[in-house]
């Protein structure tokens, strides 16, 4: 595990501050470093809650992996858009809201809103994992509108909205969309 990268992610989030939509360009092999940086080095240390929207990996698998890596998962909540579509028996875990499909974009916004309500004023980090996964399942104009609505609402709440993206796998029009909906794009190579 790279000590440097997760610390650098936390530093960057600190530097940029809340109410700024940030895209983090990651690579597959530094994925857990980045996630650790967000959840452990940044959110947990600042007493923030993390709402983790996953369209890539079921929340139970991700939660298990994070616990194995001894990441502090207190204050971590999931919006799981994957488990239902796998059609198996869902391993339900606490603090998780399930959305039937990553195409039900409004429901994702509403689950984030729900977590925001139960957070009772605590500031949030909201992670979208990942832009690539959502781009695979949703029509692009719809995705752009979804991100715009979500980012605007999170900025109004002084949250830290973060979009994870793997740039090597993105077509130019999707890169353009990301530039439009995010205020800052941070390459993490």
Partner 1 sequence: MWDMVSRGERGRCVTGIEGLDNILGGGIPLSNLVLVAGGCGTGKTTLAFEFLVRGSLMGESGMLIPTVEKKDILISNIPPFTFFNDKMLVKGQVAVTELEQVMESANLSPSKMDEAAIRKLVGAIGKMVAASKVKRLVIDSIDTITMDIKEDALNALLLSELSAVLYKNECTALLITGEETCKTIEGRVADGVIMMGNYDRRGDLLRTMQVGKMKGTSHSRSKYVIDLTPAGVLVTPLLKGGS
Interface with partner 1 by CB under 8 A: which residues? 100-101, 103-107, 109-111, 113-114, 117-118, 139, 141-142, 145-146, 149
Phi-psi region of 121 (alpha: psi -120 to 50; beta: other; left: phi over 0): left
Query: Is the Cβ of residue 180 or residue 184 nearer to partner 1 in the bound state?
Result: 180
Least distance CB 2 / partner 1 (angstroms):
38
State the minimum distance, in angstroms, from the CB of residue 56 to partner 1: 19
Q: Considering the complex, what minimum distance in angstroms separates the CB of residue 106 from partner 1?
A: 4
Q: What is the DSSP letter of 39?
A: I
Q: Smaller CB distance to partner 1: residue 1 or 118?
A: 118
How far from the centroid of its chain's Cα atoms is residue 149's Cα? Answer: 15
User: Burial level of 98, CB count in 10 A (0-12/13-18/19+)?
Assistant: middle
- By beta-carbon proximity to partner 1, the closer residue of 38 and 105 is 105
Name the minimum Å distance from CB 107 to partner 1.
Answer: 6
Burial of 85 per CB tally in 10 Å (0-12, 13-18, 19+): middle
3-state secondary structure of 57: coil
Distance of alpha carbon 14 from alpha carbon 27, whole angstroms: 22
Nearer to partner 1, 56 or 103 (CB): 103
């Amino acid at each position: 595990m790279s000590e440097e990268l997760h610390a650098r992610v936390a530093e960057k989030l600190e530097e940029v501050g809340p109410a700024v939509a940030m895209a983090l360009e990651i690579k597959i092999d530094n994925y857990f470093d980045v996630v650790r940086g967000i959840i452990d080095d940044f959110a947990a240390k600042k007493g923030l809650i993390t709402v983790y929207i996953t369209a890539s990996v079921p929340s139970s698998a991700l939660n298990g992996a994070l616990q194995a890596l001894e990441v502090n998962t207190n204050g971590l909540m999931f919006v799981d858009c994957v488990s239902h579509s796998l059609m198996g028996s869902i391993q339900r875990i606490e603090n998780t809201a399930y959305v039937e499909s990553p195409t039900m974009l409004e429901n994702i916004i509403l689950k984030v809103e729900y977590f925001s309500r139960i957070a009772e004023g605590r500031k949030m980090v909201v992670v979208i994992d990942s832009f690539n996964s959502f781009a695979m399942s949703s029509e692009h104009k719809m995705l752009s509108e979804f991100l715009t609505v979500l980012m605007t609402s999170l900025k109004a709440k002084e949250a830290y909205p973060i979009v994870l993206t793997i740039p090597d796998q993105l077509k130019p029009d999707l890169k353009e969309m990301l530039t439009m909906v995010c205020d800052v794009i941070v390459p993490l190579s």
